[in-house]
């Protein structure tokens, strides 16, 4: 039985919530659970805005539970710890990502890849926790999370920059590590230059790869090359440019969620090249020859387990890798979600919870 460390009703939590599928967010007061022995209570300072926030605030998958408080790229400061907590103390910088619980007993949980828990991970918002309550995310003043699902953020790493690592960063880092993309001198193609794509470019460069960005929009060329440090930029509709890169890439990370053809990109992979999909287009369609004749691998991925997430945070700190962010007040959240839908963000919005959620 879970023991309660603190029997008092937790202080009111202030958040911003969607009330219906319009997805419009407005202030909302609710209670967090009392601290349990293994819980960390976190004063949220920043929360990244992810496309997941659009999907669930607007009930795009039909499973949204209102009122819905989005946000699963959370950074903040520990304000209280349960009696059994080992890794954190009050005042520590801390992060929370896309999930806040799992069964802790299956082979995946035991391997530190809790995101693939057999019984299903509990998502940070719009999930059903073990006590039957609906989880509420990071567009809020504080959050209570079991220690296991909290991440140490190095003291010298800015919390605003840390937030997007917890979904956008880890979503590309996980498959890049899994498929050994950290081999200097190899070549990487990144499809799509948004929140995920720009992090794939930064990781690729830190791993010593030659990075080519593929985008439908020529307007992103200058920033891709000069700001993010990509080696090449290709407008994907330019067939000459695409032909010139035939069989030249060891790896492709496809972050595009819009529908796009796959065969033209598959043809850019070397023999035994790896194509990783992290976006969610409406379908994936390619010719068997694209796969078989080049002995290629197509792989999918979502975020990452607790082990690789902590490793990624340390890696970013050690290599001074910071997401490109636009910090906004929470009062701007609705406009930011609209701009995200239009892809009008370079490259991640981060809400300044600490100074604007009042």
**For residue 355, is pLDDT > 90?**
yes
% pLDDT > 70, the chain:
97
Strands (E), 248-324: 249-254, 269-277, 297-300
β-strands 297-300, 269-277 pairing: parallel
- pLDDT tens profile 38-82: 999 999 999 999 999 999 999 999 999 999 999 999 999 999 999
CA distance 71 to 233: 32
Where is average pLDDT lowest: 90-99, 255-264, 317-326?
Answer: 255-264
- pLDDT tens profile 100-156: 999 999 999 999 999 999 999 999 999 999 999 999 999 999 999 999 999 999 999
105 CB contacts (<8 Å, ≥6 apart)? none
**For residue 86, is pLDDT > 60?**
yes
Tell me the pLDDT band of 217, cut-offs 50, 70 and 90: confident
Query: Nearest to residue 162, comparing CAs of 354, 317, 11, 355?
Result: 317
Tell me the pLDDT band of 11, cut-offs 50, 70 and 90: low
pLDDT score, position 258:
87
Name which CATH class applies to 169-300: alpha beta
**Domain limits, CATH 3.40.50.720, in the chain:** 169-300
Query: Nearest to residue 141, comparing CAs of 53, 16, 259, 239?
Result: 16
pLDDT score, position 60:
95
Write down the CATH number for the domain with range 13-167+311-352. Answer: 3.90.180.10
The radius of gyration of the chain's CA atoms, rounded to the nearest angstrom, is 20
**Domain limits, CATH 3.90.180.10, in the chain:** 13-167+311-352
Tell me the pLDDT band of 12, cut-offs 50, 70 and 90: confident
Residue 5 three-state SS: coil
- pLDDT tens profile 223-252: 999 999 999 999 999 999 999 999 999 999
Say which DSSP state 308 is in: H
**For residue 6, is pLDDT > 60?**
no
């Amino acid at each position: 039985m879970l023991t309660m460390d603190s029997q008092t009703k937790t202080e009111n939590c202030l958040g911003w919530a969607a009330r219906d599928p319009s997805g419009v967010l407005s202030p909302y007061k609710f209670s967090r659970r009392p601290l349990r022995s293994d819980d960390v209570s976190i004063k949220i300072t920043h929360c990244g805005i992810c496309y997941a926030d659009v999907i669930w605030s607007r009930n795009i998958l039909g499973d949204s539970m209102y009122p819905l408080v989005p946000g699963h790229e959370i950074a903040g400061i520990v304000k209280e710890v349960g009696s059994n907590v080992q890794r954190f103390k009050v005042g520590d910088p801390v992060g929370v990502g896309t999930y806040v619980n799992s069964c802790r007993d299956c082979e995946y949980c035991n391997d530190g890849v809790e995101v693939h828990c057999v019984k299903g991970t509990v998502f940070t918002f719009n999930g059903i926790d073990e006590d039957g309550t609906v989880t509420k995310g990071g567009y809020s003043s504080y959050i209570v999370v079991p220690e296991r699902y909290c991440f140490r953020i190095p003291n010298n790493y800015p919390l605003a920059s840390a937030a997007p690592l917890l979904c956008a960063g880890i979503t590309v880092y996980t498959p890049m590590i899994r498929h050994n993309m950290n081999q200097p001198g190899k070549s990487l193609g990144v499809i799509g230059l948004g929140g995920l794509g720009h992090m794939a470019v930064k990781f690729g460069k830190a791993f010593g790869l030659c990075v080519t960005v593929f985008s439908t929009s020529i307007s992103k060329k200058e920033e891709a090359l000069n700001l993010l440090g990509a080696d090449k930029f290709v407008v994907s509709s330019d067939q000459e440019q695409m032909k010139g890169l035939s069989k030249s890439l060891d790896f492709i990370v496809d972050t595009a969620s819009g529908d796009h053809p796959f065969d033209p990109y598959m043809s850019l992979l070397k023999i035994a090249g790896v194509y990783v999909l992290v976006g969610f287009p409406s379908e994936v369609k390619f010719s068997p020859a694209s796969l078989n004749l080049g002995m290629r691998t197509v792989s999918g991925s979502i975020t990452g387990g607790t082990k690789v997430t902590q490793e990624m945070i340390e890696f970013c700190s050690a290599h001074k890798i910071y997401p490109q962010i636009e910090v906004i007040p929470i009062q701007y959240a609705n406009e930011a979600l609209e701009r995200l839908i239009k892809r009008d963000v370079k490259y991640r919005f981060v809400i300044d919870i600490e100074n604007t959620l009042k």
